[in-house]
Amino acid sequence: MSTLPGVIRRFASDSSGSALLEYGLLALLITALAIVAVTALGGKVSNGFSTANAGLP
C-alpha cells in the first residue's frame, strides 16, 4: 500500500496532463474574449441591421 507522501510526490512529479490543462485554459480565455466582444459589439450590429432593414422597400 502506498503512503500519502509517496502518492503526493508521484503526483507532483507527473507532468503528463499539463499540456491538456494549458490548452483548456487557452480555450477558456478565447471563449471569455469572444463573449466580451459579442456583448460589446452586439448593440451596434443590431442597430446597423435595423437601419438597413428600415431602408428596404
One-letter amino acid for residue 33 of the chain: L
At residue 25, does pLDDT exceed 80? Answer: yes
Q: How far is 51 from 19, CA to CA, in rounded Å?
A: 47
32 vs 3, 5, 20, 39, 42, CA distance in Å? Answer: 41, 38, 18, 11, 15
What the block records as the C-alpha cell of 28 is 477558456
Q: How far is 13 from 15, CA to CA, in rounded Å?
A: 6
- pLDDT per residue as tens digits for the range 35-53: 999 999 988 888 999 999 9
Q: How far is 1 from 12, CA to CA, in rounded Å?
A: 19
Question: With a threshold of 0.75, does the pTM exceed it?
Answer: no
